[in-house]
Amino acid sequence: MQLGRWDIGRVSAIQSSRVRIEYFESIAEPIAETVDALVQDCQPVMLPVGARVFWCDPDTHDWTAGRVTARQGESYFVRFPNSGEDRRVSGSDLRVRWNRPVQDPLHVLTAGGSEPWFFRQARMPMLNALVRQRAACANVPAFLSSAVELFPHQVQASLTVLSDPVQRYLLADEVGLGKTVEAGFVVRQTLIDNPLAKITILAPDVLRRQWIRELTGKFFTDDFPRAEIRVVAHENPTGWAKHKNSDLLVVDEAHALVQGGDPNSSPYRELAPLAHTAERLLLLSATPITSNLITHLGLLHLLDPDVYRWEDRAAFEARYALRAELADVVYAIDADWPPLLSMNIDRVRAVLPEDKRVEELGAAVLSLLTLDGDLADIADEDELKLRVDELRGHISETYRLHRRTIRHRRSQVLADRADSDFVPYEVRGRELPRRLTIESPADERIQEILEEWRTGTRSALLDMGIEDEDASYAQVYGILMSRSGVSGRDLLEILRLRVEHVEPSIDLDPVDRGLLTFPPVLAHEPDILCAVEEAVAESGVIAFEPVTKALLSVLPQHRKMIAFCGGGALADDLAAHLRARFPKAPMFRHTRSMAAEDAEESVTSWRDAASGLLVCDDSGEDGLNLQVADAAIHLRLPWSPNRLEQRLGRVDRFVESGRNTPHGPAVHYVVLPLDGELAATTSWLELLCRGYRIFDTSVSTLQDAISQGLGFVWRRALDVGPDGLVDCAEQVERALKEASIEIDKMDMLESIHHSVTYSDDVANAMSELETDWHKIRDAVLGYTSDKNGGINIRRLERSIDGRRVEVFDIAGSKPRVDPSILRVARSRFGEDSGKGVFNRSVAVQPPGRRIFRIGNPVVDLLAHVIDNDDRGQATCVVRIDPRRQEEEPGIYFGFDFLVEADLRAAIACVPDAPSAVPALRRRADRLFAPFTMRVWVEAEEDCAVADPEATRWLERPLDPRRDHDITGRKLDELIGLLGGWAGFRKTGVEAQHLARVHLAETAKLTELSAAALGRAKAGLRVMQAQAKARALAGRLVNDEETMVLDNALTSALADGVSDPSARVVAAMCVVRTGIPGQARGF
């Protein structure tokens, strides 16, 4: 065996330090390839027991296949068919197939290399099932082999990434839409493509175990025991360097590592080299595209350091400003409104007067219109749409901040589309909160003190004549309000930090710390601090009695409840109080004072419990999946609606099957003081409900607009008091509506050009496939059976965690497959890879079960055997037809074709970019789904069999009572009827030619090719416009992406789908004869 390849060959000559190796394809091609190699680059191989070997009888010169039963010295004992004893054969006289797919089944058939028909009977259903799965998933097996429900927006995002040779993307879906699932698909596909991959996940420490659970429980990363997969904490940047040069780096909550605007500060300083050395990069962030300019530049620099450089910040700011104006005009360019095109193209020209390409593409659009703006008689609506798409593609590519941003909005994803067969993506939703008032003298005193701080601050600013500088103090007011409910301890601690620089017991958020400590301390604030100290000292533990009473009033109404306490020590103090009062109650905790492992375990226990209360501080408001809760109680409200959005998003998430996730919104309660006239919290809640409408629907896409207007809101509160918050409601609502319109336009400019994607087609195909899961199971069980041509893999049914699963015991089986074929595949198995189910509805129930589809190691092993095992690919049988009256037998050839896009020309365009090939294949499979088709041709006829009755008879399942393999004397008779072996070969070749002609003329192929070419042309026109835009901009010139999008390659890809390849994957000769004794010959 030559090092670097798994093929076993025969040494035919040795000369000095070199050897000549011959590789065996089949009895029709005993020497398929000859290779000269250095002796030290080769190693001898002893054939194992069970190895399938071929031997040429020196007397008859006939080839025979057999299996090794034992070895003795340089010889082997081989069991040949129809032989009662083993035959001793010298190793030098034996041949072993190389580890390659059979190149020409017809060649094997017409050389006398046919195998018993039952091998074909088992192989073909399995082969067809494999091709159908590949077609459904656009050659992304990770979709089918992951235990998750399939939704079009998640499929689109992952398919976009995986179909791109340069896999560096920002996934910016709104909260709750499944960015982790999208990343999980990419992780699993990376491992399928490269089982030795090095994959690094960078996530907040509190989410590390959730990531591990998702990756192993839904995406089964333990199927790849030789891969290096690490989930690393955000909080440990000093240890990131050892994870450089990852095959894939996934950064969760990426915006959290980029904030600050200084590329030389930690953790960005450590993140940049980690991202730049990764071959593939996914940044996950729910922060909208319109968010902070510097944060966005920081993210884009991670994706592409050459194009988005920190030193070019001024130019980036200019583009950032231009896009707002440009978004308006691009939004208005619509091929469905021809009369408006001229006016809107003139608007584009005015905004971009120096862009010659805009002038050229705009003129091409207008040339299809009359002077009145109508479509010209000679023009075509489809061509107009293509030209408009080219223009928009150029503008989008040239002036968007980055083409590698994928963002889905809740409003788009949650829409129940009438034209879709999919069950809508369901999240819990939201409803207005219920007010839970408490009568607490201690809390009322704290509210009074907070009002004293506000009025004192306002007066101090007026006295000093700096009332116009009140913005920073307004922010302090908001933070104080957010720490003032229920107990005064947290308010006391942050006032001590502000006034006396005493660190709080629980670490403060860096943003809050900066806002709190930035403005100078005013003269009255030490007195406020003393007042809070007195109030806290007087209240003691009785401060928790009113809120405990309120909790007890609602807890019996709900099964699982969350108490959101916000930042500080409130969550720990409340949990301790409740534990002391109710030691046996099912209560759980997730707080910053806990070790990350303990916090994660606590949430898991709460999630799995029949009922219980989970008490969280602000560590539970970001990233956790808490949608099993049927109620949430807010003891305090954050000062920023964006933070409240993150909190609500923990519950308002995807409704997972089988996890007892309630349908419909959770009930929300907000704790308020009984007398709320002076309580800022009461007025703040009013504004959140009426102005921000945050309890009606997600506002995650409006984060930037909310942040921009929040300063005004708190300045108004500082100036007027709590009533000032309520007065802002109408103005806030109006501003957010206007921002929403602008964001719609920005999304069109910034996100991937969707007019030429077909993710719904892929998702629909997979959905249809899953309805026929029984057929996939039947094919797998037939092929792995110990009878009827199966390869004999032991299968068991077991109960694991109370659920039935099927187990394919690869290690404990003695399959009827050459061991060399299994060697590589077996080494890729994880311990539990063979345990799973066939029904996706069962697989997605918790805990997740492996699903036997392509991408699963068992199914991929079977696919490997299908490709490389020659049995079942060439078959020759005689079939008795009692109705046949002719004396001469009928001879038919059947050909099974695999039809797929021809990528040879496209691949030739990227000879130095092998990593682009899988992406090209996926792109091609999206345009032209592969399929199998069987064509029958009767010998010496001039066309394929068209008679439906004859076709039905030929397609009838083989029956051992009537159908028999043609071997020995009967094979000699067949060869005689065809004029010898040369005649057999000639007849077969002619039949295959006719079969190909028929295939090319079938309606299915011509329709598929035409549709694929139409999609390809539409997509490639836009892609070419984008490629030209990048080249003109001097960006990404010379990288793999440019190669994939250049004119030569895109044209080759279009040619490949318009003229697909048809490869013969099985050949069969059928002799049709009457009842023996009534017909000649057979």
Distances in Å between the alpha carbon of 638 and those of 621, 643, 730, 998? 11, 6, 21, 70
**Residue 621 and residue 568 in contact, taking contact as beta carbons nearer than 8 Å:** no
In this predicted structure, what is the pLDDT of residue 754?
Answer: 45
pLDDT of 1059 higher than 60: yes
1043 falls in which pLDDT band (50, 70, 90)?
very low
**Residue 179 and residue 171 in contact, taking contact as beta carbons nearer than 8 Å:** yes
Q: What percent of the chain has pLDDT over 90?
A: 41
pLDDT in tens, 706-765: 988 999 999 999 999 999 999 999 999 999 998 887 777 666 555 434 443 445 688 888
CATH code: domain 541-702 is 3.40.50.300
pLDDT in tens, 322-350: 776 777 677 678 888 888 888 888 888 88
| 1010 vs 641: which has the higher pLDDT | 641
Q: What are phi and psi of 36, to 5 degrees?
A: -95, 130
Which tokens in the block code for residue 721?
Answer: 């008091």
**Residue 640 and residue 708 in contact, taking contact as beta carbons nearer than 8 Å:** no
In this predicted structure, what is the pLDDT of residue 185?
Answer: 97
Give the sign of the dihedral formed by CA 398, CA 401, CA 402, CA 405.
Answer: negative
**Residue 687 and residue 726 in contact, taking contact as beta carbons nearer than 8 Å:** yes
Q: Determine the distance from the C-alpha atom of residue 494 to the mean position of all C-alpha atoms in its chain, rounded to a whole number.
A: 43
pLDDT of 401 higher than 70: no
1044 falls in which pLDDT band (50, 70, 90)?
very low
In this predicted structure, what is the pLDDT of residue 757?
Answer: 47
pLDDT of 617 higher than 90: yes
pLDDT in tens, 832-857: 889 999 999 889 887 778 999 999 99
Q: List, as one string, the DSSP characters of 424-453.
A: PP-B----PPEEEEE--HHHHHHHHHHHHH
In the three-class reduction of DSSP (H, G, I as helix; E, B as strand; rest coil), residue 120 is classed as helix
389 falls in which pLDDT band (50, 70, 90)?
confident
Q: Which helix (H) or strand (E) holds 587?
A: strand 587-590
**Residue 917 and residue 139 in contact, taking contact as beta carbons nearer than 8 Å:** no
Average pLDDT over residues 780-806: 88
In single-letter form, the type of residue at position 63 comes to W
Domain with CATH 3.40.50.300 in the chain: 541-702
Which tokens in the block code for residue 298?
Answer: 């920081």
pLDDT of 250 higher than 80: yes
| 226 vs 828: which has the higher pLDDT | 226
pLDDT in tens, 486-514: 888 999 999 999 999 999 888 788 888 98
Q: Are strands 560-564 and 631-634 parallel, antiparallel or unpaired?
A: parallel
Burial level of 711, CB count in 10 A (0-12/13-18/19+)?
Answer: middle
Calculate the average pLDDT of the chain: 85
**Residue 858 and residue 834 in contact, taking contact as beta carbons nearer than 8 Å:** yes
The CATH number fitting domain 10-100, selected from 2.30.30.140, 1.10.3210.50, 3.30.1490.20, 1.20.120.530: 2.30.30.140
In this predicted structure, what is the pLDDT of residue 528?
Answer: 92
Comparing 288-302, 627-641, 720-734, 917-931, which segment has the lowest mean pLDDT?
A: 288-302
Q: What percent of the chain has pLDDT over 70?
A: 89
Which tokens in the block code for residue 332?
Answer: 């208005």
In the three-class reduction of DSSP (H, G, I as helix; E, B as strand; rest coil), residue 232 is classed as strand
Average pLDDT over residues 521-538: 91
Overall fold of domain 151-308+402-407: Rossmann fold (3.40.50)
Which residue, among 422, 826, 482, has the nearest Cα to 684 in the 3D structure? 482
In this predicted structure, what is the pLDDT of residue 892?
Answer: 96
In this predicted structure, what is the pLDDT of residue 753?
Answer: 44
Which residue, among 753, 824, 998, 784, has the nearest Cα to 899 in the 3D structure? 998
Q: Which helix (H) or strand (E) holds 285?
A: none
Domain with CATH 2.30.30.140 in the chain: 10-100
**Residue 880 and residue 1074 in contact, taking contact as beta carbons nearer than 8 Å:** yes
**Residue 529 and residue 496 in contact, taking contact as beta carbons nearer than 8 Å:** yes
pLDDT of 1081 higher than 70: no
In this predicted structure, what is the pLDDT of residue 561?
Answer: 95
Which residue, among 837, 863, 831, has the nearest Cα to 850 in the 3D structure? 837
Which tokens in the block code for residue 391?
Answer: 């223009």
Please provide the size of the chain in residues: 1082
417 falls in which pLDDT band (50, 70, 90)?
low
pLDDT of 689 higher than 60: yes
Angle between helices 205-217 and 596-608 (to 10 degrees): 50
For the chain, the C-alpha Rg in angstroms (whole number) is 35
> CA-CA distance, 932 to 953, in Å (whole number)?
20
In this predicted structure, what is the pLDDT of residue 303?
Answer: 87
352 falls in which pLDDT band (50, 70, 90)?
confident
pLDDT in tens, 906-941: 888 777 767 677 878 888 888 888 999 999 999 988
In this predicted structure, what is the pLDDT of residue 3?
Answer: 56
Which residue, among 83, 86, 95, has the nearest Cα to 56 in the 3D structure? 95
In this predicted structure, what is the pLDDT of residue 807?
Answer: 92
pLDDT of 300 higher than 70: yes
> CA-CA distance, 156 to 1014, in Å (whole number)?
20
Average pLDDT over residues 406-421: 66
Domain with CATH 3.40.50.10810 in the chain: 151-308+402-407
In this predicted structure, what is the pLDDT of residue 1006?
Answer: 80
Distances in Å between the alpha carbon of 523 and those of 228, 526, 792? 59, 7, 86
> CA-CA distance, 603 to 628, in Å (whole number)?
11
> CA-CA distance, 458 to 714, in Å (whole number)?
12
Could you say which DSSP state residue 97 is in?
Answer: B
Which residue, among 618, 657, 176, 218, has the nearest Cα to 428 in the 3D structure? 176
pLDDT in tens, 1012-1038: 777 666 665 666 665 565 555 444 333
Give the sign of the dihedral formed by CA 760, CA 761, CA 767, CA 768.
Answer: positive
pLDDT of 403 higher than 50: yes
Between CA 297 and CA 303, with CA 301 as vertex, the angle to 5 degrees is 120
pLDDT of 770 higher than 60: yes
| Helices and strands, counts by H and E, the chain | 39, 29
Q: What is the pTM of this model?
A: 0.80
In this predicted structure, what is the pLDDT of residue 808?
Answer: 92
pLDDT in tens, 856-906: 999 999 998 998 888 889 999 999 888 887 878 999 999 999 999 998 888
Q: List, as one string, the DSSP characters of 321-364.
A: HHHHHHHHHHHH--TT-HHHHHHHHHHHHHH-TT-HHHHHHHHH
> CA-CA distance, 701 to 523, in Å (whole number)?
41
Q: Determine the distance from the C-alpha atom of residue 15 to the mean position of all C-alpha atoms in its chain, rounded to a whole number.
A: 53
Average pLDDT over residues 236-251: 94
Q: Are strands 63-72 and 75-79 parallel, antiparallel or unpaired?
A: antiparallel
Average pLDDT over residues 940-954: 91
In this predicted structure, what is the pLDDT of residue 283?
Answer: 94
995 falls in which pLDDT band (50, 70, 90)?
very high
Which residue, among 936, 931, 952, has the nearest Cα to 994 in the 3D structure? 936
399 falls in which pLDDT band (50, 70, 90)?
low
> CA-CA distance, 1016 to 1007, in Å (whole number)?
14
Distances in Å between the alpha carbon of 485 and those of 450, 541, 566, 637, 722? 11, 14, 10, 9, 15
